[in-house]
Amino acid sequence: MKSIILSLAMFAFTASTFAQTNGVAAPQTNAPAKQKTLSPEDRAIRVLRMMTSRVGLKDNQSAEVKAILIERENAKAEAKKLTEKGAKKAKMQEAQASAETKLQKVLTPEQWTAWVKFKEEQKAKKAGNQDGSKSNEPQKEEDFY
């Protein structure tokens, strides 16, 4: 009697295991994990930290730059909601140009030159990684832009 009950229990356990997977293993994907989406304020703060480390922002400049960056990121977020591709791109470029004009007024000429040089280096690094041979991942936190 015990052997019959034990056999039925083993059968039920085995059947329930196969019922969950239909006898087929789940497909394995090599897709990267979904990237965390940052809010416009978080993106602005990330750029502010990078600007502080790269160009040496002073405390009085930091508050002004933060306001400009948050304004830019909010405008870009609004532009991303547009459906027409041309209008979206124009809004994004307008937000970027406006922010750069304001930043140039806040930063000293040396700081502005250092910031432009850093952005060009980042653009060149990104263009160099387009062939897929290297990882597009930044090496350090301050390399984010």
What's the pLDDT tens digit per position in 26-60? Answer: 555 555 666 678 888 989 999 999 999 888 888 88
- Give residue 127's pLDDT: 84
Q: Percent of the chain, pLDDT > 90?
A: 32
Residue 34 in any domain: the answer is: no
The model's pTM = 0.63
The pLDDT of residue 117 is 93
Mean pLDDT of 89-105: 92
Q: Give the Å distances, CA to CA, from 39 to 42, 75, 82, 102, 119.
A: 5, 12, 17, 22, 21
For residues 64-77, give the mean pLDDT.
92
**pLDDT value for 4:** 72
Mean pLDDT for 75-97 is: 89
Whether residue 35 lies inside any domain: the answer is no
Q: How far apart are CA 82 and CA 91, in angstroms?
A: 9
Amino acid at 59: D
Does 47 reside within a domain?
yes
DSSP H or E run through 144 = none
- Is residue 142, in this structure, part of any structural domain at all? no
State the pLDDT confidence band at 81, using cuts at 50, 70 and 90: confident
* 3-state secondary structure at position 13: helix
Q: Decide if 96 is inside a domain.
A: yes
For position 28, what pLDDT does the model report? 56
Per the structure, the complete domain to which residue 72 belongs is given by 40-128
Residue 2 lies in a domain: no
Task: Check residue 79 and give its pLDDT.
Answer: 87
Number of domains comprising the chain? 1
